[in-house]
Amino acid sequence: MMTFHDIRRAAFFFLILLLVAGCGGLQEVWEGPGAKMFRPQAIAVLPPMASQYDNAREDIQEVLSGSLNKGGHIERVMSPENVTDVFQASKEAFDALVFYFSRLEMTGQSDKDSAVKLGKALNVDSFLVVRVNSWEYMRKEGDNVGRVGLSLRLVDATTGITVWKARHEKSSSYMFYRPNLKDVAKELAAEMIQAMPPQTKR
């Protein structure tokens, strides 16, 4: 028969387990006040912003678009090829993209006018801004790892307002055979997209 002391100890360990379980999730997450009500119908993944990992840009755009399609929260996900076609065909759209990125770099804020222009050019009501923070093989705590890190920003293309943003990274350790960084990116993207509005469950 359990004593009162045993029950207290069991409850204490259960509480610790709950706290540890709650420590998971993304490294950094921010939600705007309208995030829980945000229900976009169409989304485009913009070409990732320039970084030292520019060789990963096409893979990341493809992986994120695939994760959005699998997530099923948004009705229409524009393919990376169609996004590229719009920016190649329209100087106005390309100029809006360049201006949007430059303002974001300078101020850290989403420029509303150019965001709305991008939404109209791409025929979407939301878009994802992406920065590749890491895409590399390295040594980490004595292990060989393949590491991918991303920052994402979800923007309402009808208002230009940032709805949600997050930063996270994922590593895969190895001894002899290097993991494919695109596979690491798929796991990371799935985790981040799952945490992104709109959500079917909260």
Question: pLDDT digit string (tens) for 143-185?
Answer: 999 999 999 999 999 999 999 999 999 999 999 899 999 999 9
Strands 42-45 and 76-77: parallel
Cα–Cα distance list, 77 to 37, 50, 178 (Å): 19, 23, 31
Cα–Cα distance list, 171 to 88, 144, 145 (Å): 34, 10, 6
Residue 194, pLDDT > 80, answer yes
**Structure tokens belonging to residue 128:** 């994802």
pLDDT reported for residue 24 = 55
The CA distance from 75 to 102, in Å, is 30
pLDDT reported for residue 3 = 52
pLDDT band at 2, cuts 50/70/90? very low
Residue 4, pLDDT > 50, answer no
**Count of positions (residues) in the chain:** 202
Compute the Cα dihedral for 182, 183, 187, 193 and give only its sign: positive
Buried b (16+ CB within 10 A) or exposed e, 123-146: ebbbbbbbbbebbeeeeeeeebbb
Superfamily of domain 26-195: ABC-type transport auxiliary lipoprotein component (3.40.50.10610)
Strands 162-174 and 143-156: antiparallel
The answer to whether 56 and 135 have CB atoms below 8 angstroms apart is yes
Give helix 91-107 / helix 80-89 axis angle, nearest 10°: 110
pLDDT reported for residue 23 = 39
